[in-house]
Structure 1
Amino acid sequence: MDKIREIVLPGDEIDLMGNKPGNGIYIDNGKAYVEYLGIKTIKSGYVNIIPLSGRYQPQKGDKVIGKVVDIMPSNWAVDINAPYLAPLHVNDTPWKVDFGDTGKYLNVGDTIIAKIMSVNEVKQVWLTMKEPGLRKLEGGHIITVSPTKVPRIIGKDGSMIKMLKEMTDSRIYVGQNGVIWIDGSIDAILKVVGAIRIIEKEAHIIGLTDRVKDYLSKNKKGD
């Protein structure tokens, strides 16, 4: 009968008002936080967050991982796991690219870290690679998760992703579009993927960090 609806943002602290945490909510130090953009509902004694969208909705300033899917004389088309492909113009890269030479720098199938430079009113996106840390990714393994899970995979102040890197001796980059790049030994990659799948499934469960830590400890090489 009693039902409350309001839009909430990732990381918002919310008052459970005596109810139990449901989908889209995680507990940290006894406080309840919102996991992803959505609508807060209270029904049958549970507070739930209904996601507004499971697909990535680009926002200016987001850092994303994308795959080049087409090459044109002065730009590349990049799949960033969004409703539309995102163009990357030669002027927005760190290279001096002559007209028609785009294929010498990025080819179809290449993976890049880029930043959302602009998003217009019809959700068309432009990318840039001109800032430090934005680059072509070599090797590694790519997996995709729901963008709504990204905050939990990164963790508060980067705590979860730091633990994943340190306990597996791997390099990991999490794009805000839900695309994750992992580089390391085969064993390390498998451990990271397994841990991320746990985070996906149990994002709303209390004690998630300890659960992931236990998983990584039990799956050390030689165990």
Structure 2
Amino acid sequence: MKELQVSLNQTQKIRLQTALQKLQDLSSKVDHSIVAVADTISVNHEDGFLKGHGTFELGGEVVATVCGVVERVNKLVYVRALRPRYQAERGDIIVGRVVEIVPERWKVEINFSQDAVLMLSSMNMPDGIQRRRTANDELNMRTIFEENDIICAEVRDTFQQDGTLHLQARSRKYGKLEKGQLLTVSPYLVKRSKQHFHHLEEFGIDLILGSNGYIWIGEHVEARDNQENPSNQQNDTSNGRYVNLAVPEKTYTALEKRQQICRIANAIRVLSSLGFNMTKEIIMEIVNLSITLNVEIHEMLGAEFYVRVAEKEVERRSSLKMGRG
């Protein structure tokens, strides 16, 4: 849990400590242990085991090479580092910020050890036609993405020589993100799952949980027609520029929608500060809790709501445990 940036009174401190102690008791049943570098990790040599990330065999014993939490998946034993930077895997959905445009590629900051690369050849063109990239395409890269644009993409692969991470955006769900907020949380709080794109229909909001710890909350869009719908765009061959033929849409977001985005964003900020995992279901539980308690958006970052969220998490995990029992 991060150091809370809120002032708790004595009663709130006791309630929060009680809730966190209950959460610790519930999680201790799962056999998690915290280790430092060179600590010995207990394993069952008779049944056989697999050494994963953060472990090393020395003198017949398995020792930790990083500080973190010991995790066990069947016979695999590994150490999940505390507060690590993003560890990329092929197929990850990420959110990032364009930081530089160089020949044939965009450089994107994604909370990785170095900037990722999105090649011009690894994304759909604005005219929607599958074709070779031309010199005009390269000249007009800024009409697609420019510096400081927020984008969503997928991890394609990593070049072994220099460790460069390559992205791709060959689907309608990828591309430029607008009319929303970008939040940063610790990457380990966002678990990899089959679904990282969520449409919160009751609010008309899109939620993208990037595996790299960048979370996007924005106004819902049906499709990225400005990038893929050839009926709305054409290539002006006289000057090589892409011309948008669609009727311009409103460029503002309604006040109610902005308030909904801020409410969801504050729910994520509270969960992040408490060190709780991020899923659509957990986030929406906290949003609905704030609405049920008639908590104003700015009050969600107050001490009382932090305590309420911790107590709510105790209830959730207790019910899950009883359900498995």
Give the equivalent residue in structure 1 for 2:276.
203
1:88, distance to aligned residue in structure 2 (A): 0.9
Deviations 1:152-209 (A, max 9, x none): xx9x886xx96x93564422111111111112422112211121123221527xxx94
Largest Rg, 1 or 2: 2
Is the contact made by 1:150 and 1:174 (CA closer than 8 Å) also made in structure 2?
A: yes
What secondary structure sits across from 2:114 in the alignment? Answer: coil
**Distance change in 2, residues 1:33/1:90 (3 Å):** farther
**C-alpha deviation, 1:112, in angstroms:** 1.0
Judged with a 3 Å threshold, the aligned counterparts in structure 2 of structure 1 residues 221 and 194 are, in CA distance, closer, same or farther, namely closer
Secondary structure of the equivalent of 2:190? helix
Residue-pair matches, total: 183
Which among 107, 110, 114 is matched to residue 80 of structure 1?
110
**How do 1:9-158 and structure 2 match up within 5 A?**
22=24, 32=30, 39-40=69-70, 51=81, 54-95=84-125, 96=133, 98-121=137-160, 122-151=162-191
Report the CA distance shift for 1:26/1:217 in structure 2 as closer, same or farther (over 3 A).
Answer: farther
Q: Distance in 2 between matches of 1:221 and 1:215?
A: 8
> Hey, what does 1:11 align to over in structure 2?
none
Q: Report the TM-score when normalising by structure 1.
A: 0.66
Deviations 1:129-150 (A, max 9, x none): 1134111112211111111111
**1:74 aligned partner, one-letter code:** E
SS in 1 for 2:111: coil
Instruction: Indicate conservation of the 8 Å contact 1:66/1:111, yes or no.
Output: yes
Classify the secondary structure of the residue corresponding to 1:99.
Answer: helix
Q: Is the 8 A contact 1:195 1:216 kept in 2?
A: no
Task: Decide which of 161, 172, 175 is 2:207's aligned counterpart.
Answer: 172
Q: Provide structure 1 residue ranges, at least 5 long, that are not aligned to the other structure.
A: 1-19, 42-48
TM-aligned CA distance change 1:67 to 1:113, over 3 Å: same
The gaps in structure 2 that reach 5 residues or longer are 1-21, 33-52, 54-67, 72-78, 126-132, 220-256, 298-325
Runs of 4+ in 1 over 6 A off after TM superposition: none
User: Relative to structure 1, is the Cα distance of residues 186 and 132 closer, same or farther in structure 2, using a 3 angstrom cutoff?
Assistant: closer
RMSD: 3.8
Corresponding position of 1:4 = none
**Normalized against structure 2, the TM-score is what?**
0.47
Q: Secondary structure, in 3 states, of the residue corresponding to 2:289?
A: helix
What SS does the corresponding residue of 2:142 show, helix, strand or coil? helix
Displacement of 1:219 in angstroms is 4.4
User: Taking every aligned residue pair, what percent have the same amino acid on both sides?
Assistant: 25
1:63–1:113: 8 Å Cα contact kept in structure 2?
yes
**Cα distance in 2 for residues equivalent to 1:94 and 1:166:** 27
Higher strand share: 1
Q: Does 1:191 align with 2:263?
A: yes
